[in-house]
Structure 1
């Protein structure tokens, strides 16, 4: 049945990211088959209960009926600012059931930032739990219909009263998600029914189900485009999925792995950094065959600790067997990209690291560009990453000028700097806004420097390189180290760090300091806000 459902879905030209639930039912997916599970209770169902497809339909239809009774309908933008993954996804599905446009917000956004973001959305209403209504208290939100909705109420709707699911066109907007906000106010990114489903349609439904995707624990941020893509991917492949509300709580994630026995874990770089603090070889994680990363590419030091744990199936002369060690699928993605453009699989016996993000997916076109000349750079030379892909977002909500600034010769410019080798593998060196021109053809790439430091210093768990150019043109670089629990914080690691940097970058080194994670300025997705870190560094330099 699973194979025939996948074939029917793949052949349906109207299927997209906003209508997977009703389409599964339309094509005859058994209602007692897998739906979704969450780490919080849902309408009397306990936490960690795996809802069947029928239970999921009823819970979504109840919310659709309740929201419909409030007058919410097609093309109404509705902000969703909640903590629980269940509240995020059940309202996403209920709003798309009505043809409305859910604007999913990261729960870690500060109240003042969230209020300004909502005002810029010009939403008709807001779904917000008690904690987030408190953060917004006293703020003017500019809601078109003054609909302030408590997610605890919407599940009381009568499922049978829900209207028929809205029939989406492929270009209809089905969600607004936002960028990480590491350098500025988060940008509202619009995803269409087609764009956010492109990778699932072109890869996931047309190839055999990948090992490790039978039973998936998802630690991705629920309001992120990657979260929506993950639930659509697993539901269309009729797998089981448990979605957690926290992405970087390493001990809690490991405890859930031991309890729920997933075959795969999906997450962002923050998740892998948190798990790499734990000796997974001493924990019961043998069920995990696959760690799947998207967003920023992962560090080798973290990947190696993950693939040393778990187990995977192999096929040999003796047939199918299971061997120690798991797989880690890496790549590079972003909210605007809609899906990772690259893929590479690491195993315990693989050695292609150095921030290698692999080769492009078949549905994308890649160009590494010199923006001054408009020409592509040759292999081995760093260029700006330009992307053409059906997965690219439809634009920025209420900001067409900002969206068109990202376009260059028909490509979407991601803001990343990459190079490719002669074999066609691509490597990520930095974000363009974080790289520093040192003159004489020399550059300081902060992400590549962090990778090199982690490889050189095995007792360093994670690190952040903050490089800033002052008004006088002088570059100063600070290296902030987070150590493994067993490392000695009193050891001077300056010589090791200096050796890991290029000669030109090492000449700018001001200090190497061990810090706690609370010293870093991070955004709502856990990314370090290097823009603010640079400002702090420059302020300190001016005071010296």
Structure 2
């Protein structure tokens, strides 16, 4: 039975002729979707995804969610209520739509994000799953409605597109009693490659989990491509049936992205001794300060511990003497505006971070530039200095 202001599938297809199109499809080679990358480090590229890419990724994700016995499997279909505000033109939103369709679950969607409206909808529709990106979680946990609404129907929450700050995970778990599950993926991989299924012996909030079924992952030295041992940070390479067939009308970019059938992600990551993977940042975002390699994520996570910081984005900053240094763009919480200075934050950072890590420059902004799915648009931040 449909809730008010909704429409059932039966109502939607009523009166429509059930006639399959007369067309031959080659699932392995025919393009099912042409989705574009976010363009956070360069111009967006068209990603050619086949029917096989999308179906393989969907089934692998569902397999990782699969309950242990048949009774629980049957209970999953047609009972869940998911809420997302992800654009369907993006690979993350696209796969959420496909998975929800396969599960016959209700999918509550919004065309824009408003934390109060989302929290109200979770309560009203008794949503069981929330799927979002870090900036959404940041806005939700800082909303006054977060502790006022009845969110007891929620059983799980997933975050993707970027690393979710540890402080946000802690605040979420304090209120709801469970941690946000982080996964990983790229437009080039349909998009999911890593998740943290419930059957893992331990859910580690800072980790993106383990590769989904049929997916291989390894960490290599970005320059030599030599495989690295557990614990070492290097570039993440991927192989699997969900990996794209190439970039649209860009054979050069395609050739640069593949090495012996392995997809170069451009993401720096590590794998621990137990096989859990962790994203440390993008190779292009790494800041080289006086011979030290500093990842923006490390600086951002520490700055989030300051009570005045609402949002933060860290990038390299040109320096005529040493090449580049560290700069943080900060959005303050409303109650701290005009009560704290950039220098106050720099001095606080000196006390909390290693001498080579703290930001030498801080600039306050009203809002950080972000991509369509909420990633910090670091290229735009760097362009401010040019």
Task: Check whether TM > 0.5.
Answer: yes
**2:128 is the counterpart of 1:263:** yes
Give the structure 1 partner of residue 44 of structure 2. 186
Give me the whole-angstrom Cα distance separating, in 2, the residues matched to 1:512 and 1:337. 36
**Residues 204-243 of structure 1 mapped to structure 2, 5 A cutoff:** 204=62, 207-208=66-67, 214-243=80-109
- Contact conserved, 2:90 with 2:373, CA < 8 A, in 1? no
Aligned-pair distance for 1:376? 0.9
Unaligned runs of 5+ in 1: 1-31, 38-45, 59-157, 311-324, 540-544
C-alpha deviations, 1:24-57, integer Å up to 9, x for none? xxxxxxxx9x9xx9xxxxxxxx8x41422x3444
Aligned length, in residue pairs: 370
Give the structure 1 partner of residue 216 of structure 2. 365
- Contact conserved, 2:76 with 2:103, CA < 8 A, in 1? no
Unaligned runs of 5+ in 2: 68-72
Give 3-state SS (helix, strand or coil) of 2:175's partner: coil
Give the structure 2 partner of residue 474 of structure 1. 323
C-alpha deviations, 1:101-121, integer Å up to 9, x for none? xxxxxxxxxxxxxxxxxxxxx
Give the structure 2 partner of residue 306 of structure 1. 172
Give me the whole-angstrom Cα distance separating, in 2, the residues matched to 1:381 and 1:286. 40
**2:25 is the counterpart of 1:168:** yes
Aligned-pair distance for 1:263? 0.9
Aligned-pair distance for 1:488? 5.9
- Pick from 279, 287, 296 the counterpart of residue 446 of structure 1: 296
Give me the whole-angstrom Cα distance separating, in 2, the residues matched to 1:302 and 1:270. 10
Give the structure 2 partner of residue 536 of structure 1. 384
Cα 1:308–1:457 shift into 2, 3 Å: same
C-alpha deviations, 1:487-514, integer Å up to 9, x for none? 46523222332344332223xx332344
- Contact conserved, 2:270 with 2:277, CA < 8 A, in 1? yes
RMSD of the TM alignment (CA)? 2.9
Aligned-pair distance for 1:402? 1.4
**Residues 389-428 of structure 1 mapped to structure 2, 5 A cutoff:** 389-428=240-279
- Pick from 126, 129, 139 the counterpart of residue 274 of structure 1: 139
Normalised to the residue count of structure 1, the TM-score between the two structures is 0.62
- Pick from 501, 516, 519 the counterpart of residue 353 of structure 2: 501
C-alpha deviations, 1:404-429, integer Å up to 9, x for none? 21112321011100122223222211
Give me the whole-angstrom Cα distance separating, in 1, the residues matched to 2:354 and 2:229. 22
**Residues 302-341 of structure 1 mapped to structure 2, 5 A cutoff:** 302-310=168-176, 325-341=177-193
Cα 1:513–1:536 shift into 2, 3 Å: closer
Cα 1:452–1:397 shift into 2, 3 Å: same
C-alpha deviations, 1:230-249, integer Å up to 9, x for none? 12212212222122222x32
Give 3-state SS (helix, strand or coil) of 1:417's partner: strand
Cα 1:285–1:215 shift into 2, 3 Å: same
Give 3-state SS (helix, strand or coil) of 2:328's partner: strand
Aligned-pair distance for 1:195? 0.7
Give 3-state SS (helix, strand or coil) of 1:200's partner: helix
The structure whose Rg is larger is 1
**Residues 119-158 of structure 1 mapped to structure 2, 5 A cutoff:** none
Give the structure 2 partner of residue 522 of structure 1. 370
Give me the whole-angstrom Cα distance separating, in 2, the residues matched to 1:505 and 1:295. 25
Aligned-pair distance for 1:470? 4.6
Give 3-state SS (helix, strand or coil) of 1:336's partner: helix
Give me the whole-angstrom Cα distance separating, in 2, the residues matched to 1:403 and 1:499. 45
Give me the whole-angstrom Cα distance separating, in 1, the residues matched to 2:54 and 2:85. 19
Cα 1:471–1:368 shift into 2, 3 Å: farther
Give 3-state SS (helix, strand or coil) of 2:189's partner: coil
Aligned-pair distance for 1:368? 0.9
- Contact conserved, 1:461 with 1:483, CA < 8 A, in 2? yes
Normalised to the residue count of structure 2, the TM-score between the two structures is 0.85
- Contact conserved, 1:211 with 1:289, CA < 8 A, in 2? no
Give me the whole-angstrom Cα distance separating, in 2, the residues matched to 1:165 and 1:268. 39
Aligned-pair distance for 1:523? 2.8
